[in-house]
Structure 1
Amino acid sequence: MSQDNPTNAEQPVKPAESESKEEQSSDDGKGKNSEKKARVFDLTEMLELSKKTIEERGLPKPEEVNDSPSTSSGFGTFSKPEKASSDNKQAESGVSSGMEDDEDDMMVMLPPGFKPDQSVFADSSKSAEDDDDSDFDEYEGDGIPTVALIPSSMEANLSHGSKPVSALRFEPAGVRFASGGLDYMAKVFDFQKMDMSMNCDKEVMPAESHIVNDVAFSGNGDTLAVATGGAQLRLLDRKGKQWTETVRGDQYLVDLSNTKGHTAAVNAVRFHPLVKGEFLSCSDDGTLRIWRLEDYKEITKCINKHFKVIKTKTANGKRAMPQTCCYSNDGKLIAAGCDDGSIQVWKHGNFYVNTSYLVRTAHRGPITCICFSPDSKLILSRGLDDSLKLWSLSNAKKPLQEKFNLENGFKGTDCGFSPRGELVFTGTSSPNSQIPGQLLFFNTENFDLVYKIDFPGVSCTRIDWHPKLNQILVGLSDGSIKILYDEKMSVRGVIGCVKRPIKRSRREEVIKEEMVLSPLALEMFQPRREDDEEKEKYLRMKDNQLRPAFRKPADVPIDGPSANGRVKDSGSTLHSYLAKQIGTQRNKEFLEDSDVRASILRHAEDAAKNPMWIDKAYKKNQPVPIFQDKTTEDEEEEGDDEEKTTEPVFKKPRTK
């Protein structure tokens, strides 16, 4: 297009005219934008101006750019401009021209003769992805080994007590975990409150003289269920206080479905993974019972009845005692391992008469633990016959994998799957202290030993692997607890506790203040009693010491002749002294008078005229007293005569 086009020549003038009009309007006092118009840009003219600029600067034209070698980018294709002579000189000094193009505006000019260290520059042939995978270069051919998935690089030591740990379980959220032992104690460890000392947060004794067999947290962590050697389950709140318990069944009833609760020791307890408030327990009475927290009664302070009952039987139809139980991860199945070595599985529903999966001869001894795989298609079982077996729910005749010669001397030895199911783990225990306990990890596909951890002199009894924290709890027979974790793969949990400093005890730093008593706590306001059996009163001071008992307060002055059973003392005046002496003399004379009869008759006439102690209703009918006429002197004389006779009375002759 030519520049002589009249339309193109007139359009650039319009913005100037509009600007002049705006200035005039502003001078007239009107609004600045009242007559303002939108600016118009001519793309054709702008393109012509860009062509002129290219010709003046000697840059290649757009038509030539397409034919020249170029570098591509995400926004289009651009050519590399030629460098000036100064750039070529710097390139000869050791600095590449490519770096100068990118960093020309970012760096100051380097001094002449400067040579950069080439070892610090990254190799362009190596990408950033190769740097990220540098840690796994050694596994490039076979992939990442399963042993690298075990968080066992670090270890934290805790203590439950002096006796073996018999129960150990993580909270689903991973904030706390609980432990129980043969010392009848249950302890709760809170990661948020725990420091480097690794002390427990709460310590309780759920059932006196009963060992703790198992513990379980609810889905939200508000309730902790404790299974003990007793027939009742104890439910604790977050503060560690028991708020309810299950009812105890009648042990004299033959039909176990008619009893409201367990009648023997409870071996295991589990909460439903999906249904809130539902939990499962198994007992030596031969039943599994499903409970619900909504059945709690405020009047009885307990759960009065189970929701459902499941009976376990042997091949002969007799009672089989379930040693362990669990839910599947999807909550659709319930499994139990019995003392006869059988595995029995039911569908979670209304009826629990027939089993959906049954293996009568799974083990040659009692089963200590049973659990489902993450996909709920496999079952892992551990028995006292020193074996570990993997079963499929589609085949009940033969196990998929099995491992023997795994020492097991504890009835609650755990087993389980890794969070993704690549590994299975279990522990070994032996009554012989010379045989070390082991924590063993096997490959799920072929049961090959992948990794093991030895614990010299102790047995490995309880194990729990939390999938979110990626940390492993291990309970040992000496009462100690170990937490295995990895600083890179594990999150939260014990990682924050090992770096948290121990809180300093501030008892010595507290300034003791004077005890402030309220006015009613002073001695003069204390209650006064005549008896000495009044309870001692103490005031507790801030340092938990007892204040000594209050002394008996002084008697209040008497207002009037007497008060509170006390007679007012005589004063210091002469009148009061004489009155006291006269009264004392009269009392002395009265007491010294030997003729009591005469002393009484002295007031007989006044008593007859003015009876003080006889009601007027009895005045007319009051009998007249008759007194003896003899005096005291005659009686004394007769007595003297009798004393003069030496013979007894019964030997005296009769007088005619």
Structure 2
Amino acid sequence: MSESESDDYQVEAPPLSKDDPMRSFLPISFGQKTKEANIAAQIEQTRRQVEPVRPVASKHFDSDVDSDGDSDDSGSSKDEERFPVSHEVVLKTHERVVTSVALDPAGARMITGSLDCTLKLHDFAAMTPTTLRAFKSVDPWETKKSAKSSESHPIQHVEFSRASGSVFLCVTAHPQAKIMSRDGETLTEFVKGDMYLRDMNNTKGHVGEISTGTWHPSDPNTCVTAGSDSTLRIWDINNKRSQKQVIAFKSKALGCAGRTRMTAVAWGTAAQGNSPVLVAAALDGSLVMYGGNGPFTRPTAEVREAHRADTWTGGVDISSDGRMVLTRGGDGLIKLWDTRKFKEPLIKVEHPATSDRFPMTNIRYSPNSSSIITGSASGHLHILNPGNLRPELVTPVTPGVPLIVVDWHPKLNQIITGSANAETHILYSPNISSRGALEVMSRAPKKRHVDDNPDFTMDQSAGISGDSIITPGAMPGNKRGGVTASGKSRDPMRPQVQQITPFMRSQPDEKHISENIPLSRMLHEDPREALLKYADVAKKDPMFTNAWKSTQPVTQFAELSDEEGEEGPDKKKLKR
């Protein structure tokens, strides 16, 4: 529900006495008569008007299940009880395509990333039916912007840590990933590797754009990132100077010289006491699987032609028991794999791909792996059966606009989607969902007092409120604005702003040097004085010449007169 559709807030006016003549000019009743909010009516306003579609079974390959698609009239009511799709709340906080959505484990905070290079932070506890907006907008690279150069990168992937949700992984179209706090502050910025090294095992970070990343299923301090330099790098978030381990994938496809882009990665939980599973997809169509706890020298299984080469496999997910792997490729196929027989897919079905325009389109298991959700190019949400990949429910979310990312929160039991029209939809059901969007719509609309209107309480000429406290000399007219010809401010109390010259833009600041360059304090030391500290020690206890100390010959220099020294040797005459 947008802000324009929910303007039924109550305006509180100053009370009037019974004999006040102003009462004759006021209506008897205005707006909402009671102070109680009609919660049921608010929730009913968010009911989706579209009817879910029960489609005919799509074309299957290599499936032993029959393809008869039965549909009955009672199916829609049963689906509403099974899936939280009966109601929705729409958030319009971005300006471009929503590429990633993430919720913390408690379901209290939601973060969305977009191609507009910003992160939007939403807090369900602070939103009401009339204030559906983000409380903070963050640009991860805002601190590196200068006066004449703006460094911003599209958001590729955001994901909260699985343990506490106090931090989240932010992946942008840049070789350096970031670990940020839940309030949007940068805590760790991983180092960038040396692009001139051929062996990727010797670089301390990615040398190309990072595609995506994810967290370790049990270790809250470990994450993995997949980059265009044909590597997967496992990081310890407490050490930003170098990765923990490097998995260099060597492609066997023709014409790629052993390198390819890593497009997707998933780190699944252990299956019945076994080690976790790490699965990654590459641009050459390969699908590789590693043991989640290492060693990562060789993959435990590899499929060379899992999807068509040179198509972006943007969706990889692992079931909750760690046995099944789900992939969605840019070739228009969804495939189901078994980790115990990781050679051929169990089932593969056709599904319209959106990877040609939006390669970050994903596919996800439901919290208990009882369903599979993904979007489509037509703007429909597809809920598939995990056993045969048949669509159990197809419902339009943004008709005609591609649905890019989806997520299903386990505690809220709500589905969050991000679309190409910059909208974020939260699908829920009042019967089976809890908190989240349901809690937002269960609150009373925010009351607005007549004094909240700045047109009535602000001095439009001065731009200040009537009850504000003004210190001496704080009025705008008392300050001498502008700058002189030399660039200094006319205001004597204002410090001079340092000018940004081309030389200064190319030089890092002292804080960056001290934090990221080892032994940077030696730049301020005199090398001659530093060496002379050890002159007496070297003379008393020589380390390298101690063996021939007693037999060391005495150096004798030839004695030259002043005239010979000035004349010097005869120089050869130049031929003309």
TM-score (norm. length: structure 1): 0.54
> Which runs of structure 2 are paired with 1:630-649 in the superposition (5 Å)?
none
Q: Match of 1:174, as an amino acid?
A: G
CA distance in 1, matches of 2:488, 2:258: 65
> Whole-Å Cα distance in 2 between the matches of residues 361 and 389 of structure 1?
12
CA shift in 2, pair 1:395/1:534, >3 Å: closer
**Counterpart in 2 of 1:293?**
237
Alignment RMSD (CA, Å): 2.8
Provide closer, same or farther for how the CA distance between residues 233 and 191 of structure 1 changes in structure 2, counting only shifts above 3 A.
same
- CA pair 538-485 structure 1, distance change in 2 beyond 3 A: farther
In the other structure, the counterpart of 2:188 is 244
**Count of residues paired in the alignment:** 376
Residue in structure 2 matching 1:191, options 124, 128, 131: 124
Report the secondary structure of 1:192's partner residue: helix
Residue 261 of structure 1 aligns to a residue in which SS? coil
For structure 1, the 5+ residue unaligned runs are 1-138, 296-302, 430-435, 524-531, 540-656
Checking the alignment, whether the CA contact within 8 Å between 2:100 and 2:113 is kept in structure 1 is: yes
Change (3 A) 1:201 1:266: same
The verdict on how the C-alpha distance between 1:533 and 1:279 changes in structure 2, with shifts beyond 3 A counting, is closer
Shift of the alpha carbon at 1:162? 2.4
Q: Equivalent residues in 2 for 1:143-542 (5 A)?
A: 148-196=81-129, 197-207=131-141, 208-218=151-161, 219-295=163-239, 303-316=240-253, 318-330=258-270, 332-364=276-308, 365-409=311-355, 410-429=358-377, 436-454=378-396, 455-500=398-443, 501-502=445-446, 504=448, 506=452, 508=454, 511-517=466-472, 535-536=490-491
CA contact (8 A) 1:312 1:321 kept: no
Take 2:404 and 2:344, find their aligned partners in 1: how far apart are those partners?
Answer: 27
Distance 1:534 1:459 in 2: 52
Shift of 1:400: 1.7
Alignment of 1:525-564 (within 5 A): 535-536=490-491
* Equivalent residues of 1:380, 1:389 under 8 A apart: yes
More helix as a share of residues? 1
Larger radius of gyration: 1
The one-letter code sitting in structure 2 at the alignment partner of 1:243 is: L
Deviation of 1:535 after TM superposition, in Å, equals: 4.4
Contact 2:205 2:243 in 1 (8 A): yes
Please list the CA deviations of residues 542-577 of structure 1 after superposition, one character each: whole Å capped at 9, or x if unmatched.
xxxxxxxxxxxxxxxxxxxxxxxxxxxxxxxxxxxx
Shift of 1:405: 4.0
After superposition, the C-alpha distances for 1:68-91 in whole angstroms (9 at most, x for unaligned) are xxxxxxxxxxxxxxxxxxxxxxxx
Which residue of structure 1 aligns with residue 510 of structure 2? none
Unmatched segments (≥5 aa) in structure 2: 1-71, 142-150, 458-464, 479-486, 495-576
**Percent of aligned pairs with the same amino acid:** 29
SS in 1 for 2:314: strand
Is the 1:379–1:392 contact (alpha carbons within 8 Å) kept by the matching residues of 2? yes
* Residue equivalent to 2:32: none
1:310 counterpart SS class: strand
SS of residue paired to 1:367 = coil
Give distance in 1, aligned partners of 2:489 and 2:331: 68
- Cα gap change, 1:244 to 1:504, in 2 (>3 Å): farther
Aligned-pair distance for 1:507? 6.7
Cα distance, 1:221 vs structure 2 = 1.7
Change (3 A) 1:494 1:405: closer
Q: Work out whether residues 160 and 181 of structure 1, in 8 Å CA contact, stay in contact via their aligned partners in 2.
A: no
Tell me the alpha carbon deviations over residues 340-390 of structure 1, each in whole angstroms, 9 at most, x when there is no partner. Answer: 122111112342011122222111133111000111100000000011111
What's the CA shift for 1:257?
A: 1.0
Deviations, residues 572-611 of structure 1 (Å, cap 9, x unaligned): xxxxxxxxxxxxxxxxxxxxxxxxxxxxxxxxxxxxxxxx
Residues 175 and 207 in structure 2, CA contact (< 8 A), matched pair in contact too: yes
- Which amino acid in 1 is paired with 2:343? K
8 Å CA contact 1:385, 1:408 repeated in 2: no
Q: Which amino acid aligns with 2:164?
A: N
Matches within 5 A, 1:12-23: none
State the TM-score, normalized to the length of structure 2: 0.61
Q: 2: CA distance between counterparts of 1:425 and 1:534?
A: 59
For 1:367 and 1:165, the matched residues in 2 are separated by: 18
Q: CA deviation at 1:164?
A: 0.9
Alpha-carbon separation, structure 1, partners of 2:488 and 2:296 = 66
Given that residues 334 and 351 in structure 2 are in contact (C-alpha distance below 8 angstroms), is that contact kept between their aligned partners in structure 1? no
Structure 2 CA distance for aligned equivalents of residues 363 and 513 of structure 1: 66
State the distance in 2 between where 1:254 and 1:228 align: 24
Contact 1:160 1:179 in 2 (8 A): no
Mapped contact 2:188–2:237 kept (Cα < 8 A): no
The equivalences for 1:606-617 within 5 A come to none
**Mapping of residues 40-55 of structure 1, within 5 Å:** none
